[in-house]
């Protein structure tokens, strides 16, 4: 099913676009392209995505390859980039905040989806503030969730903030396309990465002014520890009403003694009690025991291991065939039907003849 097969969208990449905003824009375009839209990626100057690791054989960025699936890449510079985007007569354009021609697109009846660092109310005050996705995540308290309290925060793996903002912008883009079909209205949506980070970390924001302890990095004293196994690590989660299940899973350990401890001491005691049990078992053995007794456990996998994971294979999570790249499928359905990604060969740059 390709619900937007009759829609043209332009992803407008200007030289100097910060890489975290460029990643968010590219994810927005990737998702609408997977739904059948003709996606023209108009690139003015070097595209920073081409230098984002990891790199495939031949030095091509895997991130770039993933985010450009199904897109027509068009290299145009200066005013020609804007003119080329307008000539394509798109329903919508995806761009970064501060684009000099944003209002020109809107005046031409083109919906605008704008990726930004800050919410509109903060944009003027912080316009000159140097910023990165790391700083934005820190500003939203997103880096105060895991890690040791006495050390500097660690960067989260991958591009979680940019990709989440891209998915939010895709929602806005879908609404803009549908709204135009309904009544002809042209919408302008602004998605800021800071607001996206706050949304992702809403528990910390909700509890910030309330009673009791606030969310903060607890390190080894965290309620849900990550414990070493024979072949890696596994996250261990439990709730106070699971004593009987814990006794079954950790047969032979004095789990019942934990009931008499104050709540603030239980996690530390339990972690010390079960660490040797985890260390003697593989992640698969830990996971099998946890499933048997209904205890949430999350084995920590490397990306390559997920390609052969039974659960991912059963859900056909990755797409790809011989001669193409293997990527995750789009994380959505449309009217109950799962969307199918396009084949993903290593992308080649198009020429301006494909748009003009």
Quick one: average pLDDT of 96-120?
A: 93
CATH code of residue 260:
3.30.1540.10
Model-level pTM?
0.85
Same domain as 156, residue 294: no
Angle in degrees, 0-180, between the axes of helices 160-183 and 193-200, rounded to the nearest 10: 110
CA proximity to 346, closest of 37, 58, 74, 9: 58
* Band (96; pLDDT cuts 50, 70, 90): very high
Given a cut of 50, whether residue 263 has pLDDT beyond it is yes
User: CATH no. for residue 93?
Assistant: 3.40.50.10540
Task: Provide the domain limits for residue 176.
Answer: 8-203+337-354
pLDDT digits (tens, 9 = 90+) for 141-154: 878 777 788 888 88
* Chain Cα centroid distance, residue 152: 23
What is the arithmetic mean of pLDDT over 65-77? 90
Average model confidence (pLDDT) for the chain? Answer: 84
For the stretch 308-339, pLDDT in tens is: 888 888 888 887 765 667 778 777 777 887 77
Burial zone of 332 (CB within 10 Å; 0-12 exposed, 13-18 middle, 19+ buried):
middle
Domain total in the chain: 2
Distance between CA atoms of 93 and 115, rounded to whole angstroms?
11
Task: Indicate the pairing of strand 8-14 with strand 38-44.
Answer: parallel
Phi then psi for residue 9, to 5 deg, are -130, 140
- Where does the pLDDT of residue 344 fall: very low under 50, low under 70, confident under 90, or very high at 90 and above? low
Task: Write the pLDDT tens digit of every residue in 28-70.
Answer: 999 999 888 999 999 998 899 999 998 887 788 989 988 998 8
C-alpha 349/C-alpha 160 separation (Å) is 27
Same domain, 139 and 18: yes
Q: Could you count the other beta carbons within 10 Å of the beta carbon of residue 92?
A: 27
Same domain, yes or no: 36 and 175: yes
Distance CA 241, CA 339 (A): 40
Q: Is 325 within the bounds of a domain?
A: no
- Lowest mean pLDDT across 103-112, 142-151, 285-294: 142-151
User: Same domain, yes or no, for 192 and 230?
Assistant: no
User: How would residue 351 be classed by pLDDT, with cut points 50, 70 and 90?
Assistant: very low
Query: Are residues 105 and 244 both part of a single domain?
Result: no
Query: Quick one: 42 and 151 in the same domain?
Result: yes
Within this chain, do residues 197 and 228 fall inside the same structural domain, yes or no?
no
Q: In b/e form, how buried is each residue of 59-70, taking b as 16+ CB within 10 angstroms?
A: eebebbbbbbbb
Residue with the larger pLDDT of the pair 26 and 338: 26
- Asked whether the predicted pLDDT for residue 132 surpasses 50, the reply is yes
Return the ∠ at Cα 64 (arms to 59 and 70), rounded to 5°.
125
Q: Would you say residue 330 lies in a domain?
A: no
114 and 22 belong to one structural domain: yes
Q: Where are the beta strands (DSSP E) in the chain?
A: 8-14, 38-44, 71-75, 92-96, 111-116, 188-192, 226-229, 232-236, 297-299, 318-319, 327-328, 333-334, 337-338
pLDDT single digits (tens) 187-216: 899 999 999 998 888 766 655 555 555 557
Q: What is the pLDDT of residues 153-175, one digit of tens each?
A: 888 888 999 999 999 999 999 99
Query: Is the pLDDT score of 183 beyond 70?
Result: yes
Q: What is the mean pLDDT of residues 217-236?
A: 85
Closest CA to 21 of 66, 67, 60: 67
Beta-bridged to residue 220, according to DSSP, are none
Percent of the chain with pLDDT over 90: 41
Q: Please check the confidence at residue 79 and state whether its pLDDT lies above 80.
A: yes
Q: What is the pLDDT of residue 30?
A: 93
């Amino acid at each position: 099913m390709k619900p937007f097969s009759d829609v043209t969208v332009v992803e407008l990449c200007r030289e100097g676009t910060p890489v975290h905003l460029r990643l968010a824009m590219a994810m927005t375009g990737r998702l609408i392209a997977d739904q059948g839209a003709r996606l023209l990626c108009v690139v003015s100057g070097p595209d920073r995505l081409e230098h984002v690791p990891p790199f495939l054989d031949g030095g091509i960025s895997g991130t770039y390859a993933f985010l450009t699936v199904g897109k027509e890449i068009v290299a145009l510079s200066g005013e020609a980039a804007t003119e080329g985007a307008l000539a394509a007569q798109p329903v919508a354009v995806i761009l970064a905040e501060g684009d000099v021609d944003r209002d020109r697109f809107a005046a031409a009846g083109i919906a605008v989806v704008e990726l930004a660092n800050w919410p509109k109310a903060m944009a003027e005050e912080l316009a000159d503030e140097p910023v990165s996705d790391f700083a934005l995540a820190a500003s939203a308290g997103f880096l105060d969730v895991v890690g040791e309290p006495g050390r500097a925060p660690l960067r989260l793996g991958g591009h979680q903030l940019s990709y989440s903002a891209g998915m939010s912008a895709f929602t806005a883009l879908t609404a803009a396309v549908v709204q135009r079909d309904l009544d002809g209205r042209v919408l302008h949506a602004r998605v800021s990465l800071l607001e996206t980070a706050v949304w992702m970390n809403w528990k910390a924001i909700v509890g910030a002014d309330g009673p009791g302890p606030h969310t903060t990095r607890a390190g080894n004293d965290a309620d849900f520890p990550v414990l070493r196994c024979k072949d890696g690590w596994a996250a261990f989660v439990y709730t106070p009403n699971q004593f009987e299940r814990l006794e079954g899973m950790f047969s032979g350990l004095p789990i019942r003694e934990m009931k008499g401890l104050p709540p603030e001491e239980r996690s530390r005691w339990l972690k010390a009690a079960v660490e040797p049990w985890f260390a003697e078992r593989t992640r698969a053995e830990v996971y099998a025991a946890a499933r048997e007794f209904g205890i949430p456990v999350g084995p920590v996998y490397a990306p390559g291991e997920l390609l052969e994971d039974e659960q991912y294979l059963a859900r056909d999570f990755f797409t790809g065939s011989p001669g193409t790249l293997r990527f995750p499928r789009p994380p959505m359905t449309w009217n109950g039907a799962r969307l199918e990604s396009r084949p993903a060969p290593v992308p080649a740059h198009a020429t301006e003849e494909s748009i003009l």
